[in-house]
Structure formats: structure tokens, C-alpha cells
Structure 1
Amino acid sequence: MNVIKSQDLRLLEQRLPLFPWYVEQYIEHKLVDLSPSTLLEYTRDFETFFNWMMHEGLTSAPSINQIELIDLERLTISNIDNYKLHLQIRHQNSVATRERKLASLKSLFHYLSQIAEDEDHYPLLKRNVMAKLKTRRITDPKLMANRLQGKILEDDAEIQRFIDFVTRDYRKVIADNPQALHYYERNRIRDTAIVSLILASGIRVSEAVNLDVDDIDLTKKIAHIYRKGSHDPDMKQSVYFAESGKEALQHYLEIRSIRYPHSRHEKALFLAIPRGSSQAKRMSKRAIQQMVTKYAQAFGKPMLSVHKLRHSFATSYYLKNDIYKTQRQLGHASTDTTELYAQLTDKTMEKAINRLNIKVIQ
């Protein structure tokens, strides 16, 4: 069972009553083609937009779920320009994030105006202001590589320093905080295993969360994962991990049951004990994201996220392999996505050359 998919589907179902009926209809239509995780992100985008409409007086509805289709039809391109400015200034969203949020709205408006019908077979939305808006996907590898500079672990040496920091050096940062020290000592072996596995394989955080104990083959150094974007999302695929990942996992598995008491039915690899509970459960995606952010900020790389650990692995891996092996390891549908790491490795090699203290003899 794909745990993340099931969890996100439940969260999606819980959120739908917050929205107008036509959003629920849109979500049901899109569930055939898009994952619950993607649609959950869409609902967050819709919530931001609808809240903005209410704040700007563009609807008289007292709550989001009462916003009517006529309110959407009355929107002007000037309104949408103001919303883009709102995302930029108030939310401080990057260009890529703004474009993504607008793309989700375009998808909703397109469905309402071109696909969904009323009882008389007319479009639900008679006027689609979003059709006038041109959005662009930020996919240029050079541009994306430039944006990642300073936000990932640049080379093998820095990757090792970060793992060592999680394993032992973080305690120096929290030496004066007994409570933080207590939680760190209890979880540092698990945290090291998670960070090391991602940096040794490049798997996504959702793929790490889905792992069960039986999915790990330490002898062959293979993790059997639910691969995002797979043609068969319910079939596991095998991904290799490096020796560093094996050592960290082996250490964690030795203390897993002792440090995280759990029911005999709990098969999750990575466990956490919820506050107020004596039984450990599968660690959530959000918990892993927060854990990595905590260490990254203390390490001095505040922009380093759990997803950027994947970028860090990929950059290091690409330096030693070709683009096709990197594509397969990361589970990319095409090499167009993997091309990012060609640009990143160029930057990494340039920095390495610049660090050499070579004197030119005149």
C-alpha cells in the first residue's frame, strides 16, 4: 500500500467541504490523471486565491465554500494582475512558485469553462478570465541551476560534513538546551539514517516515508520504493543506495524496536513517537521535512531542504556517471529534467578549480 497516497487522499477528502461544489467536482474529475498529493497542493492554491477574493471584496460570500461561479466570471485581467502582485509581495513567492499557483487556477478555470456542463449542457463557467493569462513553466536547466547555487551540498566533502553534523556535531549547537539534547540523543541515529539514505540514493521524501522494513535489502543495498510518476504507482521499484546509506541504516535497524516501541502490525521503516503516545508510528513527510530544516539551519545552510538533499545526491552522482544512469536512479521520465544536474556539476567543477591556489609565473 502506498501510504503517502492514502494519507493525501484522506487529507484531500477532509479539505473538500471547505470549497464550493464545483471545486469538489473538479477534484473528482482530475483524480483519474493526477495524484492526491498534487491535487492537495492545488486545493492550497485555491484556498489562497479564494481568501484573497474575499479580502478584496470580489465576492459577497461569507465563506470560501459559498463563492459562486458568477464571482469567477466577473473577474478581470486587472484583478488577476493584482493577485500576482499579492503573491509576490505579501507571500513573497518566487517566480516559479507564482507560475505554479497560477497554473493550478488555469486548470480549474479551464475545466469549468471547457469540460464541465450544467443540466442544459452549457459550460459551468461562461467567461474564463484565466484563458487570457499566459503562464510559463520555469524549466530552463541553466536558470534552475543558478537558483540552486548555495542551497545544496556542493560536493562529497560537504555531504559528509552534513552527515557528521547530524550524527554528532549538532549537539554542540544545543548544548545549553537539555530538552533539545534529550530529543536529539533519542532520534539522532534515526535522523542520520534518513539523511544518509536520501544522500546515498536520491530518493524523494515521499518515497522514504513509504518504506517498510521489508523494503530494505542491506546485502544488495537496494530499497524497494513506490516511485513517483510510475506507470504503475502501486508497484514497487528497486533503487540502489551507496555504502554510506547501508551503514547508517544498519545502525538504525539495530535500535529501531528498542528506541521506538511499536505494535507488531507496524511495518514502517522510519518511526516516530507522537506526543502523548507510548507507541511509535510511521514518520510523516512533514516531520522529515521539519527535521532536515532544523539541521540545515544549524549547519549554516538555511535554504537546504529535504528535496535539495536529493539535488545534492544527484549532482554528486552525475559527476561519476552519465545522464542516463542519473535519470534512471532518480526516476525521471526524460533526460530533460536530468539536464539540470549537468549545469550544476559545471558550477561545482568551476568552484573546485577556483579553490585551487595556483600561482601563475610571469
Structure 2
Amino acid sequence: MMIQKTIDRKKLDERVVHMPWFVQQFIDYKLPDLSPSTLLEYVRDYEQFFNWLRAEGLSEAGGNAEVTLLELERLRMESIVGYRIHLTTRTEGTNARITVSRKMSSLRSLFHYLSQIAEDENFYPLLKRNIMAKVEIKRIHKPKDTAAKLKGKILEEDELLEFIGYIAEGYGADIQNNKQALHSYEQNKERDACIASLILNSGLRVSEVVNLNLDDLDLANKLLYVYRKGNNDETFKTPVYFREQSKDDLTHYLTLRQTRYKTPKREKALFVTIPNGQKEGKRMTKRAIQAMIIKYAKRFGKPYLTVHKLRHSFATDYYLQNDIYKTKEQLGHASTETTEVYAHLTDKTMSEAIERRNEASTGL
């Protein structure tokens, strides 16, 4: 099992035992089809919902594990509306529309399972009345809307190379008066530039980068073997190509990996760090990589840039030279609908259509 998946599965197991028995049954039912990370988000959504039910007096349970099916059956539409208002207006951190939509979808999935799939000892549905069946969840995440939000917030054209170069050299000049920051930078600049280069030249997700091992790398053929998101077959790794620049950056980093980070031979991770207070190199975490990119992005003058926007940057650049189907495969998308974002970002589809019309009219 890949590293992040193992961590999420452990967290899931720890939290699901504090859920009602019917939620535990639902999670078991979904486990073969959904990743532990997705199911962990489900459990967090249910924790929030049950906490709200109890706070509003809609459940008499002393803890979330004691919430009953009967209490769910008795919920009225006004209660669900009230919960949505709570999610969008609570003072300790309001949720974006897409987050509210996801949380409501999590509830719909649970209620659907309880009312349509799960059975009691008499073969009747566990939940006799499904209030969530009345709730319409509008699609928020449209490719065109996503593209509009990304406009101007990703790296384009020469900026891809400039950002990698800034991490490799430019950042040091900007922090030369900060001895502590400079020391850390000198220790990690080759590794950090290599990670940015790999994402900008392959489109890998941060979780895929974290999970990379040394033996997943085929430098000669510019290939990586990765566990793709949504693929629950833990015996299969998908081959993903990367560009020539990353080959050079990876080659350079590998000459430093063992000696600079005092990496023991038992550590198989491709990208390593020496945690504070420790003496040996260990696998970098997703959070560490995310924080690292944000640090460089701010100094580079792109404070909105994140790891995921590096992936968007690669995808947009790649789509300009390839069709939507090749882009879908390179990024590991489940469908071309997700990949449509890059068509809207580049306006490639429209511009090509205009060119074809011109060619037809001129007889070319």
C-alpha cells in the first residue's frame, strides 16, 4: 500500500470507530471502491453534521456514535436548509460553495446507502425515510468556471523555466541577509528545484510525488511508475513520462540524495529530508512539499502559486502541443470532462476551429 494511503487508512480506522454503527457499515461497503483519503473526508463531514444535529437538539445522543437511524428519519427539510445555512455562514470559517456542495453530497451518499442498499434482518431498508433524496445538489465545478479562476494564476510559457531557475539560484540572492534561511536553502535548493521541475515537466500530483520510490524511476526512458489517484489496484503502477529537463535535474539531485541527507539504504523514498532533531534522511511529507513551493512562489512574485497550480501550469503547456486525450492520459484524469479546463484556459479549441474555417475558405 502506498505511503499516503497507509497514513489515511490509519486515520480512517481511528476516527470511524467514533461513528454510529450504520456509518461504520457504510464505510466498509465503500472501502473497496474509494480511497481511504476520500472516505476520511466522508467521516469528517459526518462528524460535523452529527455535531450540528446534537447542538441543535435534533439528536439526543451524548456522542456522535449514539446518533440513531430514527433521528435521521425524523429530519425535516427545514433542518437540512438550516444545516446548509450553518455551513455557509458560521463565523469560525465559512465554506466555499463547492465545499458545501461536497459536504451535502457526502450526506446524500450515506442516506442513499441506508435507504436503498442496506437492509435490516427482515430485508427492509435500514432508513425508511430519506430526507436527502429531496435535496438538489447543483453542479458547481464546471470546467469553464475553473478555467476562469485559474486565468493569470498559473505559470505560462517562459515562466515555467524561470520558476525552476529561481529556486535553483535566484532565491539565494533574495535572502542573503538571512543566515538561517540561507543555510537551509543551500542544503535543499537542488532537491527543491528538482521537485518543481518534475511537476512542471510531468504534471504529477503532490501525493504522487510524495509516494515515489527510487525504483519507480527509469531515467534512461524518462519514465516514472506511479500509483494514480482513483486506482485502487495496489499491484499496478502507471507509467508516466517526463521531459528531458527533469532528467537532468533528477540526475543532479540523485548524486546528492544519499550523502547530503544521510539517507540510509533502507529508505526507498525518492525525495527525502532530515527532520528537525533527527540524523537520517526520511521521506518528505505532502505538507512539506506544499509549504516549500509556497515559500518560493511568494518571493518569485506569484503568491497565489501552489503545488496544484504547478500541475495546472504543466497541463496547460502540454495541451498546447497535444490533444485532449493525450493530456487526459498524462494527467491521469478519469474522464476528458476534467481535462476540458485546459481547453478553456488556452482557447485552443476555438482558435483551431477558426483556422480550419479559414483553410477551408481559402482552399488550403
TM-score bin (small chain): 0.7 to 0.9
Aligned match of 1:355: none
Is contact 1:100–1:137 with CA below 8 Å preserved after alignment? Answer: no
Q: CA RMSD in A?
A: 2.4
Identify if the C-alpha distance between structure 1 residues 80 and 257 changes in structure 2 by more than 3 Å, giving closer, same or farther: same
Identify if the C-alpha distance between structure 1 residues 298 and 68 changes in structure 2 by more than 3 Å, giving closer, same or farther: farther
Identify if the C-alpha distance between structure 1 residues 317 and 121 changes in structure 2 by more than 3 Å, giving closer, same or farther: same
Q: What's the CA shift string for 1:298-327, capped at 9, x where partnerless?
A: 434333221221111000111112222212
Aligned match of 2:38: 38
* Secondary structure of the structure 2 residue equivalent to 1:61: coil
Matched, 1:67 2:86: no
Distance 1:288 1:64 in 2: 35
Identify if the C-alpha distance between structure 1 residues 121 and 135 changes in structure 2 by more than 3 Å, giving closer, same or farther: same
Distance 2:171 2:60 in 1: 52
Deviates more, 1:107-116 or 1:330-339: 330-339
Distance 2:322 2:304 in 1: 27
TM-score (ref. length: structure 2): 0.87
Deviates more, 1:334-343 or 1:272-281: 272-281
Structure 1: gaps of 5 or more residues: 351-362
For residue 231 of structure 1, report the CA deviation from its aligned partner: 7.4
For residue 172 of structure 1, report the CA deviation from its aligned partner: 5.0
Distance 2:123 2:89 in 1: 41
* Secondary structure of the structure 2 residue equivalent to 1:156: coil
Identify if the C-alpha distance between structure 1 residues 92 and 177 changes in structure 2 by more than 3 Å, giving closer, same or farther: farther
For residue 139 of structure 1, report the CA deviation from its aligned partner: 4.4
Aligned match of 1:264: 265
Structure 2: gaps of 5 or more residues: 352-364
From 118, 124, 131, give the equivalent of 1:116.
118
Matched, 1:102 2:104: yes
Matched, 1:20 2:17: no
Counterpart residue type for residue 268 of structure 1: A
Identify if the C-alpha distance between structure 1 residues 72 and 270 changes in structure 2 by more than 3 Å, giving closer, same or farther: same
Map 1:119-130; keep pairs closer than 5 Å. Answer: 119-130=121-132
For residue 209 of structure 1, report the CA deviation from its aligned partner: 1.5
Deviates more, 1:216-225 or 1:72-81: 72-81
Identify if the C-alpha distance between structure 1 residues 323 and 3 changes in structure 2 by more than 3 Å, giving closer, same or farther: same
Is contact 2:32–2:232 with CA below 8 Å preserved after alignment? Answer: no
Q: What's the CA shift string for 1:259-313, capped at 9, x where partnerless?
A: 2223322111011223332222222223222322333344343332212211110
Aligned match of 2:52: 52
Is contact 2:98–2:141 with CA below 8 Å preserved after alignment? Answer: no
For residue 146 of structure 1, report the CA deviation from its aligned partner: 0.8
Percent identity, please. Answer: 56
TM-score (ref. length: structure 1): 0.88
Distance 1:99 1:123 in 2: 26
Counterpart residue type for residue 265 of structure 1: R
Aligned match of 2:216: 215
* Secondary structure of the structure 1 residue equivalent to 2:266: coil
Aligned match of 1:356: none
Identify if the C-alpha distance between structure 1 residues 159 and 50 changes in structure 2 by more than 3 Å, giving closer, same or farther: farther
Distance 1:55 1:150 in 2: 43
* Secondary structure of the structure 1 residue equivalent to 2:345: helix
Is contact 2:153–2:305 with CA below 8 Å preserved after alignment? Answer: yes
Counterpart residue type for residue 339 of structure 2: T
Identify if the C-alpha distance between structure 1 residues 167 and 96 changes in structure 2 by more than 3 Å, giving closer, same or farther: same
Counterpart residue type for residue 305 of structure 1: T
Map 1:336-347; keep pairs closer than 5 Å. Answer: 336-346=337-347
Map 1:177-196; keep pairs closer than 5 Å. Answer: 177-196=178-197
Aligned match of 1:354: none
Is contact 2:35–2:232 with CA below 8 Å preserved after alignment? Answer: no
Identify if the C-alpha distance between structure 1 residues 62 and 299 changes in structure 2 by more than 3 Å, giving closer, same or farther: farther
Is contact 1:200–1:313 with CA below 8 Å preserved after alignment? Answer: yes
Aligned match of 2:358: none
Is contact 2:213–2:269 with CA below 8 Å preserved after alignment? Answer: yes
Distance 2:76 2:166 in 1: 52
For residue 145 of structure 1, report the CA deviation from its aligned partner: 0.8
Q: What's the CA shift string for 1:317-360, capped at 9, x where partnerless?
A: 1111222221221122332221211111129x99xxxxxxxxxx
Aligned match of 2:168: 167
For residue 19 of structure 1, report the CA deviation from its aligned partner: 1.9
Counterpart residue type for residue 37 of structure 1: S
Aligned residue pairs total 349
